[in-house]
Amino acid sequence: MRSRGKALVLGDDTRSFLAIVRSLGRAGISVHAAPADFSSPALRSRYIAAVHRLPPYLGDGAEWCARMAVLLRREAFDLVIPCDERTLLPVDRYRSEFDGLARLALPSSRAIEILFDKARTRELVAGLGIALASGRLVRPRENAPELIAELGLPLVLKPCRSYRLEALHARGRAEIFANEARLAATLARLGEAPHLAESYFAGQGAGVSVLASRGTVLQAFQHTRARERGGAGFYRVSTPLSPDLLAAVERLFGAIHFTGIAMVEFKIDSQTGAWILLEVNARPWGSMPLPLSLGVDFPYLWYRLLVEGEEAPARTYRPGIYARNLFPDARQILAEAHDLRARPAAVIRHLVSAGAEYGRLALGREHLDVLVSDDPSPGFSEVKQASAEIAVRLLRRLPGSAQALRQRDRRLVRYIMRQSRVGPTTVAVLCRGNICRSPFAAELLRRNLDSRVPNLCIFSAGTLPRDGAPSPLAAITAAQGFGVDLSGHRSTHLSERDAEEVTLVIIFDGRNRDDLRTIHPAMRAPTVMLGSFLKASDGPREIGDPDGGDIATFTRTYTRIAAAVAALTIAIVESLAA
């Protein structure tokens, strides 16, 4: 197919990112990707022409901006599409620097200010007379009984912003509270980030997806969640457009002259027909594979609007067609079965009903989000990853597996240390946030080895894209009992350069290993778990993250780390002496 342009898609998920890649690729557009997760199955798509590495957005984002600008100048993209808020907010922050280098698939600055702040969205929606749940901003030192008296239980508490530019690694999530004690505990630790409290509206989740140009809706599509748990759904069905919901969406986007794609979430009471507007996602959304499978090609229509200035006529679609994100949906099915475990008959009915749903695939009434006939590699990669995870879990349950892993890690350390006698050795002690476990262990290891092992460099880092975070007070206090001062420590992430130069990586749990595969899949240095140097009688190999715990929790964790570091020190010294 003749190429019709060139686009850079920022992201890596198997839902909105993969849907956009496939849509543009099928239209003959050359698609490049800049992901954060380099192990994502979505990157196996045949429609991705090139993958680029950008540094994480840290601090003021200057390094990220500079590298992004270099990429845009070199590749001359027609359009840059951020797929989520973690990529959209940085592009918006530097839109003036990028505007002359490529078109940006962003809402206007005013639309971002309103639609990415739930309090401001709520104010706009209420002013337009669109139905909302009762609610308001949470005040400082909010009193739980008063809030419950005002809004009732259950009650929903949600941050005004899902992501903040200064902390893109952390997503703020909505929570539902059914009792006063838990609500009071959460209110006490909210911090300064603004939150909304809303009364809970029981109903079925529905979404109206649109493409709009200067406030006029050009294309619309509606779905409902066929299964929903914890505010998330991975099984959806197309439904006819509701005139009332569509009118609300048109009124909303007309008021701010919105241009772009968006999905507006509603909740509908199936008994009464009453509904409320829940949230506005003014960026690519997770359920996008469903309209795409039915010929409502939002990404390509968006591309044509922004790049070619073409407002294509609306397309109709077939209702009653389902789409499923296979593995997340399967986890929801199993979680629901687990909830019913006290009633075996109910578990059987639930699993039989869920299994029968897959018959829609054979009838042509269901599509899979990831596994599709013209681009099967992402689906096969997802199956491969899931199978590998299951295999690892099963192997770990075999008798003697934990001891075998301990012995493997000890052999690796002996081998690396013997090799170090002919040159410098760099050891990275790695955890997730680099504020609790890794700085404490690295300091102990340096203290034990600095004067005994020449040409040895030991540093700590984290897998989160975050620099400059201090250790929590409980960590500082507990560490003092071991003679370690963490008061001046500030977090740093494991950079690409560090990953290339490190000789040995010491981690604490399986999540650290998974994170490494995500951000540095080509890293060659062997990885060992610090807990492998504990005695089997001292507990599992994994040393859990104490972040959020009290001083006693940190003290227990640091006691295990200190014992493991002492044993690791002996292993290193003995290896060098052998």
Q: Which residues contact 275 (CB under 8 A, 6 or more apart)?
A: 131, 203, 206, 244, 245, 266, 267, 268, 269
111 token code pair: 């639309």
Q: What is the pLDDT of residues 320-351, one digit of tens each?
A: 999 999 999 999 999 999 999 999 999 999 99
pLDDT recorded at residue 3: 46
279 token code pair: 């949230």
Q: Which of these ranges, 9-23, 44-58, 298-312, 531-545, has the smallest mean pLDDT?
A: 531-545
Amino acid letter for position 148: I
Q: For residues 19 and 285, give the distance between their C-alpha atoms in angstroms, rounded to a whole number.
A: 10
pLDDT at 538 over 90: no
pLDDT recorded at residue 422: 62
Q: What number is the average pLDDT over the span 268-272? A: 91
Q: Which residue has the tokens 């490494």?
A: 516
Domain chopping of the chain, boundaries? 6-105, 134-199, 321-397, 401-577
Strands ordered across the beta sheet of 425-431:
456-462, 425-431, 504-507, 527-529
Torsion angles phi and psi, residue 150, rounded to 5? -80, -45
198 token code pair: 């809303």
pLDDT band for 222, please (50, 70, 90 cuts): very high
pLDDT recorded at residue 430: 96
Q: What number is the average pLDDT over the span 264-285? A: 95
pLDDT at 503 over 80: yes
Task: Looking at 318-420, list the stretches that DSSP marks H as alpha helix, in order from N- to C-terminal side.
Answer: 326-339, 344-357, 359-362, 377-396, 401-419
Q: For residues 340 and 437, give the distance between their C-alpha atoms in angstroms, rounded to a whole number.
A: 37
Smallest CA-to-CA distance from 488 within 471, 474, 473, 475 is with 471
pLDDT at 99 over 80: yes
Amino acid letter for position 450: D
Please give the share of the chain, as a percent, with pLDDT higher than 90.
81
Q: Which residues contact 499 (CB under 8 A, 6 or more apart)?
A: 519, 520, 523, 525
293 token code pair: 């499978």
pLDDT recorded at residue 335: 93
pLDDT at 279 over 70: yes
pLDDT at 477 over 70: yes
Q: What is the pLDDT of residues 154-199, one digit of tens each?
A: 999 999 999 999 889 888 889 999 999 999 999 988 878 899 999 9
pLDDT band for 141, please (50, 70, 90 cuts): confident
Q: What number is the average pLDDT over the span 345-365? A: 94
Q: Give 545-549 contacts, CB < 8 A, sequence gap 24+.
A: 545/431, 545/432, 545/433, 545/436, 545/437, 545/508, 545/509, 546/436, 546/437, 546/474, 546/475, 547/433, 547/435, 547/436, 547/472, 547/475, 548/472, 549/474
Give 205's strand partners: 267
**Strand ranges (DSSP E) for 28-69?**
30-34, 48-51
Q: What number is the average pLDDT over the span 58-70? A: 95
According to DSSP, residue 84 is labeled: S
Architecture of domain 6-105: 3-Layer(aba) Sandwich (3.40)
pLDDT at 1 over 60: no
Q: How many Cβ atoms from other residues are within 10 Å of residue 25's Cβ?
A: 23
Helix (H) or strand (E) holding 93: helix 85-93
Q: Which of these ranges, 144-153, 215-224, 445-454, has the smallest mean pLDDT?
A: 445-454
pLDDT recorded at residue 325: 94
Q: What is the mean pLDDT of the chain?
A: 93
Smallest CA-to-CA distance from 287 within 318, 335, 325, 259 is with 325
Identical topology for domains 6-105 and 401-577: yes
**Strand ranges (DSSP E) for 107-215?**
135-137, 155-159, 175-177, 195-199, 204-213
What's the CATH class of domain 401-577? alpha beta
Q: Which residues contact 213 (CB under 8 A, 6 or more apart)?
A: 259, 305, 311
Architecture of domain 134-199: 2-Layer Sandwich (3.30)
Would the pTM count as exceeding 0.75? yes
pLDDT recorded at residue 2: 41
